[in-house]
């Protein structure tokens, strides 16, 4: 024993400190990497066009912030239009989807009918089908129905989700049988039971599903791009791509960044309000990644 | 009997939508892929056979797309999973600022990939006005700048993978952090009493306990990376073939964008090839995980 107990303890304390330092270093490093693009887009969006283009070495701050780019973003391209389209698309798609999947989940969880298990198994097997496989025919179907460049064409293919039906069904099944029996004794109809008892009890899960769907809708790009070529029906994702390729005369990067900020803000605000719910929801039902 | 009929009524909307937009397309895509010389305008075809598959498999654009996709998968899945594991371990070992870090790390999940991709493009791009942030950084450290967006292949692939990892990290960090939190502390306490070294605690307790979640992330990561597409569009624009950065999914969609309805037959064949690849790899993953997941 050459070392005293105190020396060993001291060394252990030092290595714990170093470990802690390295941990924070890693976390701060990644946090900076995540935040920097956001900082950069906000910063660039308040630089004036002239100032931006004269900075060969971009400055990390600006002394004369301007809102001109935001005005430009809403006047030079139809950002307002894209925004409104996306809002409409998101609200209607989510509402329709809830109207479709809640009764289905209720039927699977509570009602009795022949072949229930087989039908449910078939539903589940559909979860494995990647959207790339079915999107081709959907594109042809919507085209044949003459619904290209229409809200209906945008919305229809995304109003069902087997996964969300499954999630809701699992949740509905946790409601005690006694409630249903009591309701039946009172002569309550199934529909009334669903609306008055099941929905209020399952509110947290329903809110989660709604939030996940809203995020999905807000960011959807592939289907809208296939089905719309008329800028009147563009969603923000397609709008931003259009802006990148044709808008603002290509070089007006500050205005482009203003558009990017405007598009990103709604979801970030939503996230900051419902942080706990969204993270919990994504860990239960997220798919991106 | 009456309740039976009613139950089907509740199911009707879902069944109708799934029938039209999922089950029917599934059959249809198979049919398309075997119809040769399909013409969208006249909805006629000249024969049945494997021509579409052989066309796609001999198309240099498709082969380029396959190469790109495989590179993205091989580079981003291990890197992002490993990095996410490191960060989650870090997160679960601290108490101060933990909520703040978690919130920040999650941000990329709730942003529009197309929009933020534009920011990445500007950071990496060389223009007449400026070499761009990243290049200036490289030059500051004594390197030579390179146009990451329209420059050499490796540079484009680097930005591509970098952005993909940036986008997929939130989900992985979230899943791994909650997996780490659910490991029973009793194991660690017992190990500590035995004086087990840290590294051993990690390999013998932590890793086995969270191995199901790691495999889950690897499997979903593979599937997600094989379907890479909108991140590419965000960085390189819609003409991915010209940029040489197309992916398999991008190839499928490009086949549909063409004039007068495009070429659904070629698109279907390519989509089915993709499905076959993803299906095979997922099965291999599942087999490996069955032999290795320890609990």
pLDDT in tens, B247-257: 999 999 888 87
In this structure, is residue B137 part of a structural domain? no
DSSP state of A68: H
Residues A62 and A89 placed together within one structural domain of the fold: no
pLDDT tens column, B141-151: 877 878 888 88
Q: For residue B3, tell me if it sits in a domain.
A: no
Rounded mean pLDDT of B226-238?
89
Note whether B114 contacts A221, CB cutoff 8 Å: yes
Beta strands B47-48 and B35-36 are: antiparallel
Q: What is the DSSP string of A213-256?
A: HHHHHHH--HHHHHH--SGGG--HHHHHHHHHHTGGGTT-HHHH
Contact B113 A219 (CB under 8 A): yes
* Residue B280 belongs to some domain of the structure: yes
Confidence of residue B1 (pLDDT cuts 50, 70, 90): low
Judgement on whether residues A58 and A103 belong to the same structural domain of the protein: no
With b for 16 or more beta-carbon neighbours within 10 A and e for fewer, the B122-135 pattern comes to bbbbbeeebbbbbb
**CB count, 10 Å around CB of A119?**
18
Phi, psi of B274 (to 5 degrees): -60, -45
Count structural domains, chain B. 1
Burial environment of residue B156 by CB neighbours within 10 A (0 to 12, 13 to 18, 19 or more): buried
Residue B244 lies in a domain: yes
In a domain, A241, yes or no: yes
Q: What is the Cα Rg of chain A in Å?
A: 26
Q: What is the mean pLDDT of residues B207-218?
A: 90
**What chain A residue is nearest to B219 in terms of C-alpha separation?**
A289
A34: chain B residues, CB-CB within 8 Å: 104-105, 107-108, 166, 169
Listed residues A13, A37, A68: the one ending a domain = A68
Query: Where in the sequence is the domain holding B227, given as residue range(s)?
Result: 45-109+164-292
Per residue in B29-69, pLDDT (tens digit) is 988 888 877 766 666 777 778 888 998 999 999 999 999 99
Chain A: residue whose CA lies nearest to B213 = A283
Task: Provide the pLDDT for residue A285.
Answer: 66
Tell which of A68, A99, A115 closes a domain. A68
In angstroms, how far is CA B139 from the centroid of its own chain? 32
- Same domain (yes/no): A57, A88: no
Residue B218 lies in a domain: yes
* Residues A88, A47 share a domain: no
**Would you call B47 an interface residue with chain A, using a CB distance cutoff of 8 Å?**
no
pLDDT at B295 over 70: no
- Which helix (H) or strand (E) element contains residue B35? strand B35-36
Domain count of the fold of chain A = 2
Which chain A residue lies closest to B14 (C-alpha atoms)? A100
Which pLDDT belongs to residue A188? 86
In a domain, A274, yes or no: no
Residue A277 lies in a domain: no
pLDDT digits 0-9 by tens, B2-21: 668 888 999 999 999 999 99
Nearest to A275 among B4, B15, B103 (CB): B103
pTM: 0.90
Name every chain A residue with its beta carbon within 8 A of the beta carbon of B104. 31, 34-35
Q: Is the same domain home to A100 and A176?
A: yes
Same domain for A15 and A115, yes or no, is no
Cβ contact, residue pair A278, B110, below 8 Å: yes
For residue B176, what pLDDT is reported?
94
CA atoms within 13 A on the CB side of B247: 25
Whole-angstrom CA distances from B155 to A204, B51, B233 are 45, 36, 16
Does residue A85 belong to any structural domain of this protein? yes
Is A137 in Cβ contact with B29 (below 8 Å)? Answer: yes
Query: What pLDDT does B42 receive?
Result: 66
Per the listing, tokens 């066009």 go with A49
Q: Within this chain, do residues A165 and A236 fall inside the same structural domain, yes or no?
A: yes
Residue B60 domain-assigned (yes or no): yes
* pLDDT range class, residue B91, cuts 50, 70, 90: very high
Contact B210, B219 (CB under 8 A): no
The residue out of A68, A103, A120 marking a domain boundary is A68
Same domain, A48 and A173: no
What contacts B288, CB < 8 A, 6 or more positions away? B215
CATH no. for residue B214?
Answer: 1.10.3720.10
Q: Smallest CA–CA separation between B29 and chain A, in Å?
A: 6
Is A286 within a domain?
no
Domain around A160? 80-245
Contact B110 A123 (CB under 8 A): no
- Comparing CA positions, the residue from A135, A110, A281, A112 lying closest to residue A209 is A281
Containing B36, the helix (H) or strand (E) segment is: strand B35-36
A130 occurs within a structural domain: yes
Same-domain pairing of A206 and A120: yes
B chain contacts of residue A278, beta-carbon cutoff 8 Å? 106, 110
Handedness of CA A180, A186, A191, A193 (dihedral sign): negative
Interface predicted TM-score of the whole assembly (ipTM), two decimals: 0.88
In angstroms, the CA B142 to CA B214 distance is 39
Residue B110, chain A, CB below 8 Å: the answer is yes
Task: Rank A174-183, B79-88, B116-125 by mean pLDDT and report only the highest.
Answer: B79-88
C-alpha separations of B55 from B31, B58, B271 in Å: 16, 5, 13
A97 with A235, same domain? yes
**With a CB-CB cutoff of 8 Å, which residues 221-240 of chain B face chain A?**
221, 223-224, 227, 229-230, 233, 237-238
- Which of B102, B115, B220 is nearest residue A263 as measured by Cβ atoms? B115
Q: Is A193 exposed, middle or buried (0-12, 13-18, 19+ CB in 10 A)?
A: buried
Q: Is the dihedral of CA B198, B200, B202, B204 positive or negative?
A: negative
| Mean pLDDT, residues B121-144 taken together | 81
Tell me which residues of chain A have a pLDDT lower than 70. Answer: 1-3, 247-250, 285-289
pLDDT, tens only, B258-278: 655 578 888 899 999 999 999
Domain annotation covers residue B144: no
Q: Return the CATH number at A107.
A: 1.10.3720.10
Which chain B residue lies closest to A101 (C-alpha atoms)? B14
What is the model's pLDDT at position A168? 92
- Inter-chain contact B268–A253, Cβ cutoff 8 Å? no
Q: Are A84 and A44 contained in the same domain?
A: no
Whether the CB of B125 is below 8 Å from some CB of chain A: the reply is no
Residue B63 within a domain: yes
């Amino acid at each position: 024993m050459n070392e005293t107990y105190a020396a060993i303890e001291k060394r252990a304390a030092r290595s714990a400190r170093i470990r802690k330092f390295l941990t924070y270093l890693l976390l701060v490093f990644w946090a900076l990497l995540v935040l920097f693009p956001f900082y950069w887009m906000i910063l660039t969006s308040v630089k004036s066009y002239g100032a931006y283009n004269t900075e060969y070495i971009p400055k990390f701050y600006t002394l004369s912030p301007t809102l001109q780019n935001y005005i430009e973003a809403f006047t030079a391209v139809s950002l307002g239009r894209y925004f409104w389209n996306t809002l409409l698309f998101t609200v209607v798609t989510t509402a329709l989807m809830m109207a479709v999947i809640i009764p289905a989940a209720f039927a699977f969880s509570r009602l009795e009918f022949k072949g229930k298990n087989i039908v449910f198994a078939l539903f589940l097997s559909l979860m494995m089908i990647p959207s790339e496989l079915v999107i081709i025919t959907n594109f042809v179907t919507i085209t044949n129905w003459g619904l290209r460049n229409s809200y209906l064409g945008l919305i229809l293919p995304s109003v069902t989700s087997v996964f969300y039906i499954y999630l809701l069904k699992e949740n509905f099944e946790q409601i005690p049988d006694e409630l249903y029996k009591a309701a039946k004794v009172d002569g309550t109809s199934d529909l009334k039971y669903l609306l008055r008892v099941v929905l209020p009890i399952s509110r947290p899960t329903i809110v989660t599903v709604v939030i996940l769907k809203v995020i999905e809708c807000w960011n959807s790009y592939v289907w809208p791009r296939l089905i719309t070529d008329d800028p009147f029906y563009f969603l923000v994702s397609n709008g931003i791509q259009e802006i990148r390729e044709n808008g603002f005369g290509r070089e007006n990067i500050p205005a482009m960044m203003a558009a990017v900020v405007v598009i990103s803000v709604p979801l970030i605000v939503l996230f900051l309000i419902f942080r706990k719910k969204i993270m919990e929801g994504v860990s239960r039902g997220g798919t991106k990644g | 009997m009456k309740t039976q009929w009613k139950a089907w009524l509740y199911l009707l909307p879902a069944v109708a939508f799934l029938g039209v937009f999922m089950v029917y397309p599934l059959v249809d895509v198979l049919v398309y892929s075997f119809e040769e010389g399909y013409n969208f305008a006249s909805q006629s075809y000249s024969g049945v056979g494997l021509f579409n598959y052989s066309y796609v498999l001999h198309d240099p654009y498709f082969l380029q797309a396959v190469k790109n996709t495989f590179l993205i998968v091989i580079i981003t899945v291990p890197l992002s999973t490993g990095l996410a594991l490191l960060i989650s371990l870090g997160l679960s070992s601290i108490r101060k600022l933990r909520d703040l870090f978690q919130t920040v790390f999650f941000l990329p999940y709730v942003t529009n990939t197309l929009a933020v991709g534009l920011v990445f493009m500007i950071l990496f791009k060389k223009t007449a006005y400026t070499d761009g942030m990243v290049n200036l950084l490289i030059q500051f450290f004594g390197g030579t700048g390179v146009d990451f967006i329209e420059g050499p292949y490796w540079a484009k692939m680097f930005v591509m993978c970098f952005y993909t990892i940036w986008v997929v990290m939130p989900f992985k960090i979230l899943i791994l952090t909650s997996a780490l939190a659910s490991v029973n502390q009793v194991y660690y306490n017992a190990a500590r009493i035995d004086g087990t070294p840290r590294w051993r605690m990690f390999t013998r307790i932590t890793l086995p306990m969270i191995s199901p979640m790691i495999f889950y992330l690897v499997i979903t990561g593979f599937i997600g990376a094989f379907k890479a597409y909108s991140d590419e569009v965000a960085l390189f624009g819609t003409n991915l073939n010209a940029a040489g950065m197309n992916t398999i999914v991008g190839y499928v969609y490009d086949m549909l964008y063409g004039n007068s309805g495009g070429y659904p037959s070629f698109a279907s064949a390519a989509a089915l090839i993709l499905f076959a690849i993803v299906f095979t790899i997922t099965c291999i993953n599942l087999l490996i995980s069955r032999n290795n997941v320890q609990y």
